[in-house]
Amino acid sequence: MRDLYDRFCAAPPADFPLFMQPWYRDAVCTGGRWDAAVVEKDGHVIAVWPYFLKKKAGMTYVAMPPLARMMGPYLLPEYRNPRHEPRLLEALLDQLPQLSAFEQDLNYTATNWLPMYWRGFRQTTRYTYQIDLSDMDRVWKSVGADYRNQKIPRALERVKVRYDVTPADFLRVHNLSFSRQSLEAPISETFFSNLDGVLAGHNARLMLGAADLETGALHSVAYLVWDKQRAYYLLAGDDPGLRQSGAGILLMWEAIRYTAEVLKLPLFDFAGSMIKPIERVRRQFGAQQQPYFRVWKAWNWVWKVRWMGK
């Protein structure tokens, strides 16, 4: 099925997510392997469902790869209706291998999880935030007054935006908050370097930095990636000692502006966070909630105990 999936992804519809592209999955699916279920009609692929397989203590399970915000299933737009969805989703589910557990965050187009419910899956609704960029004057006016009139102008008095941040400098600043707390960085240098190289090769990423006007030190960094429909604010980080400059807020606005004016994409996506202080920042930019589903199922009793009460 991988060959069919790869051919489908070579010329996908406009709303096909970046995170489901084979080259992206090749980069992030470390410590396991990925595969895909595929449904055809008259020789054409009409539905796909990629998944990441991992093994632990002899158990095979499906998990979310790091930095892969959304997965499948994905149906062609003309099949996203109650007439076709049950049959196609059932056909995709039939192709899943024997598993101990399954957990995925579904992409925005997957709004019908009823066939999964019929098979014993459970679901919880999660949220990210998006901005419609069709009217940038409206977008700017929707930014909270504190950000628009104080934090962003004050940040511009201390820093300048750079577009030439190196992967090494980005990762160093991104990981400062973790090292300060004596925590292991969530992203290794090898993993990030590989993913960044792949994204750069597909012209699908931008690294931003806010550099001190006097010393050149990086206050904040941001990592923007995109597909045909939206840009995602995938990663960001601040130097804890320089956080009060407001440079992180400035970079968010610059990423939004770049998405609209340079990439000319219709949507900016904050790529999710259910953490209360982070959610508040998203709302301050006038972003609107975008729900998506997290679905899971445990066949093995070990996983059932682990997920009890989830």
* pLDDT tens digits for range 33-43: 999 999 999 99
53/149 same-domain check: no
122/139 same-domain check: no
Domain with 224, as residue range(s), is 134-265
Answer yes or no: is 57 within a domain: yes
Q: Which of 227, 213, 220 is nearest to 244 (CA)?
A: 220
45/139 same-domain check: no
Answer yes or no: is 281 within a domain: no
110/221 same-domain check: no
* Residue 263 pLDDT: 97
pLDDT in tens, 204-224: 999 999 999 999 999 999 999
Answer yes or no: is 37 within a domain: yes
48/93 same-domain check: yes
* Residue 309 pLDDT: 64
Answer yes or no: is 283 within a domain: no
104/222 same-domain check: no
Q: Lowest-pLDDT range, 5-14, 178-187, 264-273?
A: 178-187
* Residue 310 pLDDT: 65
154/91 same-domain check: no
Q: Could you tell me which residue, 244 or 86, shows the higher pLDDT?
A: 86
pTM for the model: 0.93
Q: Could you tell me which residue, 162 or 57, shows the higher pLDDT?
A: 162
Q: Report helix, strand or coil for 242.
A: helix
Kindly report whether the peptide bond that precedes residue 73 is cis, defined as omega within 30 degrees of 0: yes
98/214 same-domain check: no
Counts of helices then strands in the chain (DSSP H, E)? 13, 12
Tokens, residue 267: 């949507």
Tokens, residue 230: 């939206």
Provide CB contacts within 8 A for 62, sequence distance 6+.
51, 52, 53, 54, 96, 99, 101, 102, 103, 104
98 vs 205: CA distance, rounded Å: 36
CATH number at residue 115: 3.40.630.30
54/166 same-domain check: no
152/257 same-domain check: yes
Answer yes or no: is 270 within a domain: no
Inform me whether the pLDDT recorded for 277 exceeds 80.
no
In contact, 285 and 142? CB cutoff 8 Å: yes
pLDDT in tens, 152-201: 999 999 999 999 999 999 999 998 877 766 667 778 899 999 999 999 99
Answer yes or no: is 276 within a domain: no
Which residue blocks in 50-205 are alpha helix, DSSP H?
85-94, 114-118, 136-142, 145-146, 152-158, 167-174, 176-180, 189-201
Exposed, middle or buried, 257 (CB in 10 Å: 0-12/13-18/19+)? middle
167-174 vs 189-201: helix axis angle to the nearest 10?
130
Would you place residue 57 in the very low, low, confident or very high pLDDT band (cuts 50, 70, 90)? confident
113/196 same-domain check: no
Rounded to the nearest integer, the mean pLDDT of the chain is 92
What does each C-alpha distance from 103 to 62, 64, 86, 152, 225 come to in angstroms?
A: 6, 7, 20, 39, 24
Inform me whether the pLDDT recorded for 88 exceeds 90.
yes
28 vs 26: CA distance, rounded Å: 6
Inform me whether the pLDDT recorded for 69 exceeds 90.
no
64/94 same-domain check: yes
pLDDT in tens, 103-123: 999 999 999 999 999 999 999
Answer yes or no: is 282 within a domain: no
Provide CB contacts within 8 A for 245, sequence distance 6+.
154, 155, 158, 159, 210, 219, 220
295 vs 282: CA distance, rounded Å: 24
Answer yes or no: is 286 within a domain: no
Domains: count for the chain: 2
